């Protein structure tokens, strides 16, 4: 199940937001310090981080930067004060899903969370595909590239200078390792790998 992380050093804001989130049916974990969150939270799951822009020691901008560097699958929604809007817009250009001005009300919060959860689910799916791809051998990667281009087994055998039976064995392994039930699924996953520049 997706989780909502709430990172804000202001306990009053955290309590109010947590109450609102729970009333909307979301499980929530509250944090007061960025460093503690980064050290203890599960960063590679479907979830959303509601992140305060201004905090002492490690501000929201820095936390977001670390999450990007670590390729976290959590989607980020910034919580901002009135003067922080330009900063929040800048963070959206760097991948944050949305920003909400404090005090936060239910409807905009729910809308932002729904959008952010979709973004996070897509990030988790991309990460799973990348993990599957890394499990392929160099030969399997080469063969998969030909398969998604539409080459037949006979043609792949000629290009790779291997037996057709060997192509069939490698092709079956590729489908299994990539968790693709059919060619269309493999092509779709390969396209996602291209979009994330894992393959050319």
- Give the model confidence (pLDDT) of 49-72 as tens digits: 999 988 888 999 999 999 999 999
CA–CA separation, 78 and 199 (whole Å): 32
DSSP 3-state of 182: coil
Whether 83 has a pLDDT exceeding 70, the answer reads no
> Does residue 20 or residue 196 have the better pLDDT?
20
Per-residue pLDDT at 76:
97
CA–CA separation, 54 and 37 (whole Å): 15
Tens-place pLDDT, residues 124-165 = 999 999 999 999 999 999 999 999 999 999 999 999 999 999
Give the percent of the chain with pLDDT over 70: 99
For residue 168, what is the enclosing H or E element? helix 164-177
CA–CA separation, 86 and 46 (whole Å): 28
Sequence-ordered list of residues with C-beta below 8 angstroms from that of 36, at least 6 positions apart, any chain: none
Which domains are present in the chain?
3-124 (3.40.50.2300), 135-195 (1.10.10.10)
Specify the residue for token string 């959590």: 74
> Does residue 91 or residue 48 have the better pLDDT?
48
Overall average pLDDT of the 178-197 stretch: 93
Torsion of CA 37, 40, 42, 48, to 10 degrees: -20
Whether 1 has a pLDDT exceeding 80, the answer reads no
Overall average pLDDT of the 96-123 stretch: 93
Per-residue pLDDT at 29:
96
Sequence-ordered list of residues with C-beta below 8 angstroms from that of 52, at least 6 positions apart, any chain: 7, 8, 9, 10, 13, 60, 78, 79
Q: What is the pTM of this model?
A: 0.81
């Amino acid at each position: 199940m997706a989780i909502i992380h709430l990172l804000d050093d202001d306990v009053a804001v955290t309590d109010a937001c947590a109450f609102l989130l729970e009333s909307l049916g979301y499980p929530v974990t509250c944090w007061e310090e960025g460093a503690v969150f980064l050290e203890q939270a599960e960063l590679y799951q479907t979830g959303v981080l509601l992140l305060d822009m201004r905090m002492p020691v490690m501000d929201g901008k820095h936390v977001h930067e670390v999450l990007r560097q670590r390729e976290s699958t959590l989607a980020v929604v910034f919580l901002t004060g009135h003067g922080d809007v330009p900063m929040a817009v800048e963070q959206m250009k760097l991948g944050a899903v949305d920003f909400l001005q404090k005090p936060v009300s239910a409807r905009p919060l729910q809308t932002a969370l729904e959008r952010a959860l979709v973004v996070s689910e897509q990030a988790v799916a991309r990460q799973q595909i990348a993990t599957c791809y890394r499990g392929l051998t160099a030969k399997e990667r080469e063969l998969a590239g030909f398969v998604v281009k539409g080459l037949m087994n006979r043609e792949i055998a000629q290009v790779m200078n291997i037996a057709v039976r060997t192509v069939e064995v490698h092709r079956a392994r590729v489908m299994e390792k990539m968790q693709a039930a059919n060619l269309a699924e493999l092509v779709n996953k390969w396209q996602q790998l291209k979009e994330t520049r894992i393959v050319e």
